[in-house]
Structure 1
Amino acid sequence: MKSLTSRKAQQEQAPRVSKENNDNSRNYYQQTKHRSASIASYTRLDAMSEPKVIIVTGGSKGIGLAVVQDLLKASHKVVLVARTPVSELAKDYPGQVTFLAADMTVSDTAHRAVELALISYGKLDAVVVNHGVLTPITRLADASIEDWKSHYDVNVFSALSIVKEAIPHLRATKGKIIFVSSGAAIKAYAAWGAYGSSKAALNSICRHVAVEEPDITAVAVSPGRVDTDMQKELREKGQGVMSDKEYADFVSAFEEGQLNKPEWPAQVIAKLSLDAKSDLSGKYVAWNGPEVAEYRE
């Protein structure tokens, strides 16, 4: 395996993209070097505009935090749901962010999150379903049914709970639901049965929202391989249970600086939560795919 010290040198070059992404990513970011004006310029409120109100689950780190930051920079209002609040955001964006420190698997968390949005800001325009777990990383023959049930409680049932709570209010605002999915929803990786199937279930929930709720736009987005705690967990726990080739590929992507920065897919997810077009409803898209090219501009 290549030394981790090579990572810094690789990151100073133009971003490279893992196999889970397509080559559009490298081409796009070579052409677009100044992301600082991205979400803010795209959705910056003018004097006559009203800020939108978005719930972001799992918003204290990684992709979720990057989504929250993009929305706040664009002057929108956010209810951030996570087990650990981010106190700096309240200082930097007074009056724009409200925290709910809670576990999404607790039965009343979804209701409290929606209620908090309504009490704090008077409406709800979108939900970004970002929370999730990777473990157990276990092959099917060795799987614990109880572990799978716990996994589905996080990745599926708590996601369904926030969707169910939000739907009546999103009908009123013709709102959006953005699901943070995964390439594992459509490609099987050894020992990822729980994670991949749970993300496939999210994609199915997204499609059902689309056919059942014509006034709500629901989109599932694959963020690709992102440099987050989940990737770190994979590297720590995947050896010996994943296939040797797949495990080595993920480790190599990290060592060679090929992982996406959280800010890259977050830009697309944030914009979709604000302005996703209705013809995207029910679709599963890659963050750097052609269907969402306009949301990367």
Structure 2
Amino acid sequence: MERLIIISGASRGLGFALAKQLIKPDTLLVSIARSNNSELAALCHQANATYHYINADLARPQGTELATQQLSDLCAQHQNLAHYYLINNAGTVAPMAQAHQLDDPKAIAQALQLNIGSLMSLSACFLAHTPPEADRRILNISSGAGRGAVPGWGVYGATKAAVDYFTQTLALEQPNVRSAALAPGVIDTDMQASIRQTDSDYFPNRERFISLHQNQQLASATYTAEQIARYLTNDAFGQKTIDDIRHYF
């Protein structure tokens, strides 16, 4: 075994598509999610890769703590590998609402915890429990929404802006760890379906996303994952801390 790859939110959407792209015989693939994807486990078995599932709700501090405890134990058992990759992919676009409508503190707190809090905790665990002499890489899935304001995405955009800032800080503090915050573009996933179903009073840009879907202008999760997997494993990964995968295809 040569590689340990950890992916949060790997049970569906972009995370699942990324996991499928990164399965190789020399890989221990760790999925952190609320549900186990049996197809992912079967694909690892077929490819003679090792699969490990950590059942955790990263939108809750207790779930994140459970995940980091299990992850630290797992890393302690695999200290002699050449490559360690962490992909912080788990996230939510909810709650979608304009500033005067953000009246659900619990939903806001869960989004903050999932989109940025759990990312920080998993990164800290990864840094503390993987060998510094190895090839270590952290890929944080960000968004263009964190780089330009979008009405109705005050919470989502704020968390993604925080992802970018944290990644820049990480790059300064850990120069020997390759890291990047990557915007993946607009992808045809369940998140996009949720966006299209949101009342336009809460998300004024709804019609734009409906149009993108109707005109088949959404990138497929599989195609985007192919590009991101190539990006992550490239020798140049980490040279640009704030990045966008659409710059490469």
Shared fold (TM-score, shorter chain, > 0.5): yes
Matching residue within 99, 103, 124 for 1:140 = 99
Q: CA deviation at 1:174?
A: 3.2
Does the Cα contact within 8 Å between 1:138 and 1:241 map onto a contact in 2? yes
Matched, 1:159 2:159: no
Q: Kindly report which structure 2 residues correspond to 1:253-292, keeping only aligned pairs within 5 A, or say none.
A: 253-277=212-236, 280-281=239-240, 283-289=241-247
Q: 1:253 to 1:214 in 2, by over 3 A?
A: same
Query: Which structure has the greater CA radius of gyration?
Result: 1
SS in 2 for 1:288: helix
Q: CA deviation at 1:170?
A: 5.6
Q: CA deviation at 1:146?
A: 3.7
Does the Cα contact within 8 Å between 1:67 and 1:270 map onto a contact in 2? yes
Matching residue within 239, 245, 264 for 2:200 = 239
Aligned-residue RMSD, C-alpha? 2.1
Rounded Cα–Cα distance in structure 1 between residues aligned with 2:42 and 2:244: 34
Q: 1:93 to 1:146 in 2, by over 3 A?
A: closer
TM-score by length of 1: 0.74
Does the Cα contact within 8 Å between 1:126 and 1:274 map onto a contact in 2? no
Does the Cα contact within 8 Å between 1:78 and 1:97 map onto a contact in 2? yes
Matched, 1:55 2:6: yes
What is the identity, as a one-letter code, of the residue corresponding to 2:219? N
Rounded Cα–Cα distance in structure 2 between residues aligned with 1:122 and 1:111: 20
Where does residue 30 of structure 2 map in the other structure?
Answer: 79
Percent identical residues = 24
Where does residue 201 of structure 1 map in the other structure?
Answer: 162
Measured against aligned partners, the alpha-carbon deviations of 1:195-242 in whole angstroms (never above 9, x if no partner) come to 001001001111011000011011111111101111111111242222
TM-score by length of 2: 0.88
Where does residue 70 of structure 2 map in the other structure?
Answer: 112
SS in 2 for 1:127: strand
Rounded Cα–Cα distance in structure 1 between residues aligned with 2:91 and 2:233: 22
Does the Cα contact within 8 Å between 1:55 and 1:117 map onto a contact in 2? no
Q: CA deviation at 1:81?
A: 0.9
Q: CA deviation at 1:185?
A: 0.8
Rounded Cα–Cα distance in structure 2 between residues aligned with 1:228 and 1:214: 34
Matching residue within 33, 38, 51 for 1:97 = 51
Measured against aligned partners, the alpha-carbon deviations of 1:6-54 in whole angstroms (never above 9, x if no partner) come to xxxxxxxxxxxxxxxxxxxxxxxxxxxxxxxxxxxxxxxxxxxx63111
Measured against aligned partners, the alpha-carbon deviations of 1:131-169 in whole angstroms (never above 9, x if no partner) come to 001111111112134432221011111110000111131
SS in 1 for 2:32: strand
For these two proteins, the number of residue pairs brought into alignment is: 239
Q: Kindly report which structure 2 residues correspond to 1:161-176, keeping only aligned pairs within 5 A, or say none.
A: 161-168=121-128, 169=130, 171-176=132-137
The one of the two structures with greater contact order (alpha-carbon pairs below 8 A, sep at least 6) is 1
Unaligned segments of structure 1, at least 5 residues: 1-49
